[in-house]
Amino acid sequence: MFAPLLVGSALAGVATVGSLVQHYRRQLGPMTLADVRALTELAPTPIALCREGFVKIVGTLGCDAPERSLYGDAPVAVREVRHYAVEGRGASGQRVLSRVERSTHPIWIEDDSGRITLDPLATRLDYEVDGSEVEPMIEELRLRVGERVAVLGPVVRDVAVAHHPMRRSAVQTDGAVRFLSPPLVTWRTEPEVYPKLLPPAGATALSASSIALAVLGALLRV
């Protein structure tokens, strides 16, 4: 009696691990745990006040060359379109990624104090996924024009030197804000959509109950 229960608990444990991996992949995307902490704990810094250090900027997303979404025809500022193909036949057929299209035009984030421009190819983008099918053959991950987004990353403000015709000495003025490493751009700006780090209760309970039954079987056998 003990051996089948032990095997069952081991299988349930493997299934639980797989479920947890999928859960955290969906919740975190390109984020790290440090990003999640910064997203939930830092207060937004206006773009005009960014000087040096790690900041959280919250503003409106836009671009000068929006595209039309594949779903709903909404204007999209930046997106990634994944094309899939089926390899194999019948029950053995598997959906595999065949081609990816990514936006390359600059995007910008604007708040009441200013605007900052980003290169999407040098940015970690936390997309929303669009599409109604469970395993679509074309999958669009996108951030829409006008969407409220948060930007996280270490910044420095460049110093510009201005020469005045009536002055002998140059005057230093604030230049553009620059990220020192690829920033994160995410649509998760409100607490209700922050990444959920607690594991799914159902999967955890299933694994725990299977292990408990295995232990109980061993005790009854002794």
pLDDT reported for residue 156? 95
pLDDT reported for residue 220? 41
Question: Among positive and negative, which fits the CA dihedral 99, 104, 105, 107?
Answer: positive
Residue type, 131: G
Report how far residue 119's alpha carbon sits from residue 69's, in angstroms, rounded to the nearest whole number: 20
Helix (H, G, I), strand (E, B) or coil at 189: coil
* pLDDT > 70 in the chain, percent: 68
Report how far residue 222's alpha carbon sits from residue 176's, in angstroms, rounded to the nearest whole number: 73
Question: How confident is the model over 167-207, as pLDDT tens digits?
Answer: 555 444 457 899 999 999 999 999 999 988 776 655 555 55
Question: How confident is the model over 25-34, as pLDDT tens digits?
Answer: 677 788 999 9
pLDDT band at 109 (very low <50, low <70, confident <90, very high): very high
91-117: average pLDDT: 93
pTM: 0.73
DSSP, res 222: -
Distances (CA, A) of 116 to 11, 39, 61, 121, 183: 50, 19, 10, 15, 12
pLDDT at 16 over 60: no
Given a contact cutoff of 8 angstroms between Cβ atoms, the answer to whether 151 and 109 are in contact is yes
Residues in the chain: 222
Helix (H, G, I), strand (E, B) or coil at 191: helix
19 vs 219, higher pLDDT: 19
Which has the closest alpha carbon to 177: 92, 99, 102, 110? 110
pLDDT reported for residue 71? 85
Residue 144: phi and psi, rounded to 5, are -85, 155
Given a contact cutoff of 8 angstroms between Cβ atoms, the answer to whether 222 and 67 are in contact is no
**H or E element that contains 26:** helix 2-28
pLDDT reported for residue 14? 47
